[in-house]
Structure 1
Amino acid sequence: MKYNTVIFDFDYTLADATDGIVSSFNHAFSELDLASYDIESIKRTVGLSLDEAFVQLTANEDKALRNRFKILFKEKADEVMSKNTVLFDDTISTLRQLKRDGLNTGIVTTKYHYRIMETLNTYGISDLVDIIVGGEDVKAPKPSPEGLLLAIDSLNSRQNNVLYIGDSLVDAKTALAANVDFVAVTTGTTEVKEFSQYPCIRILKNLSELFDR
């Protein structure tokens, strides 16, 4: 591998938090007297900021309503998200292999930084990730390259030595904006043909395939 740094998205790239995400969304919608949404509709918003996800689902751009939604979402997520987050079967082995190979590792996500730490600590693998950039660590969410560039700078790496791995078109756009190579995984809701619109080094069915020659 020509890279010295591999950075990941989180939801549907390293982990599945569907139950926590869906319950947090629909709790907030219920409190706001808005219609609930089915699992697949909500899953398709994962990777977007909460503001963007709210607008995509409801077609309502009212700022005050969005802000109330975010507060309600966070309150419920604090109760249910971490205990309903499950790492994919090959996440830990992938991170361990990268560390054995001497690579820097990171996570850049729209999810809260502290929530990622909760999951890593639950699995006892916080030592396998060198840097986390969460939604509260940046001014502009993905696909802005701000978070990815912040992680690269923090690791004293260079863009041409960095690989970003993600499951959504938001991730593909982020890598393109940051001028780093991108590998797509189809463990989320985005299909191969959709990724083909963007410059992907590879499109994988799962993280384990990263090490296939």
Structure 2
Amino acid sequence: MKKVMIFDFDYTLGDSTKGIIASINFALEKMNLKPAPEDRIVKTVGLSLEEIYEVLTGRSDSGEMETFKQYFREKADEVMVNNTKLYGGIKEMLEQVHSKGRKTAIVTTKYHYRIKQILAAHQMEHLIDSIIGVEDVKKPKPDPEGVWNIKEQFGVSLEDILYVGDSLVDAKTAQGAGVDFIAVLTGTTVAEDFQEYPYLKILNSAAELGSQKEAML
């Protein structure tokens, strides 16, 4: 049985789409750029803010990216927590994982403090043992640094870790880190897209990890 379960956040444990869209378009408008269509923004969820800016604008100037990040964070501080919902059964799943004596962690391209705010809003701080946010690493996912940081924190082997995520960024992260991966279909990535990456299972939702069958992983 795995000793540590690492989760992505967006589209894996919860949905912040409304807050992300508002924050991205606020930042673009402050920079006198056109707001991006919602369907294009949704496809960028899980990328770093620098990558999101480049994908949506086709621009790669580092100074512009920093400005974009500042405006994004300004708006996100107002709207993100109240516009984030957890998927059904997630809290109960994490409670069951903890009851088995496992450690839990979140590795995300969100800010560390934002995840703490969201967990606090849902009375779930006690269910996540460690958070690696985008500001805690030199390189964001799919770089494996965040997963390896968790490995060192808990003093476990790579074989003891299970990574759960919804996107190809997550699949690449797990592959690069050398840990087992479970894909979930609560995001925008369909099952067929995961086929070129190693995975243990593809589940409809991370909440299914709380079932008796999946608890043996």
TM-score for the superposition, normalised by structure 1? 0.97
> Does structure 1 residue 7 correspond to structure 2 residue 6?
yes
Work out the CA distance in 2 between the residues paired with 1:200 and 1:39: 30
Work out the CA distance in 2 between the residues paired with 1:63 and 1:37: 20
| 2:155 aligned residue | 156
Runs of 5+ consecutive residues of structure 2 not aligned to the other structure:
none
Work out the CA distance in 2 between the residues paired with 1:12 and 1:212: 23
Q: Secondary structure at the match of 1:10?
A: coil
Identity %: 46
Work out the CA distance in 1 between the residues paired with 2:193 and 2:19: 26
Q: Secondary structure at the match of 1:24?
A: helix
Equivalent residues in 2 for 1:34-49, closer than 5 Å: 34-49=33-48
TM-score for the superposition, normalised by structure 2? 0.95
Q: Which moved more, 1:152-161 or 1:139-148?
A: 152-161
> Does structure 1 residue 119 correspond to structure 2 residue 155?
no
Runs of 5+ consecutive residues of structure 1 not aligned to the other structure:
none
8 Å CA contact retained: 1:131, 1:155: no
| 1:88 aligned residue | 87
Runs of 4 or more consecutive aligned structure 1 residues displaced over 3 Å after TM superposition: none
What amino acid does structure 1 have at the position aligned with 2:7? F
Work out the CA distance in 1 between the residues paired with 2:31 and 2:207: 42
| 1:168 aligned residue | 167
Q: Secondary structure at the match of 1:142?
A: coil
The CA deviation string for residues 157-203 of structure 1, in whole angstroms up to 9 with x for no partner, is 21101100001100100000100000001101111111111101101
| 2:51 aligned residue | 52
1:146: Cα distance to partner?
Answer: 0.3
8 Å CA contact retained: 1:112, 1:136: yes
Q: Secondary structure at the match of 1:183?
A: strand
1:212: Cα distance to partner?
Answer: 5.7
Q: How many residues align?
A: 212
Work out the CA distance in 2 between the residues paired with 1:48 and 1:102: 31
1:156: Cα distance to partner?
Answer: 1.6
Q: Secondary structure at the match of 1:106?
A: strand
Q: CA RMSD in A?
A: 1.0
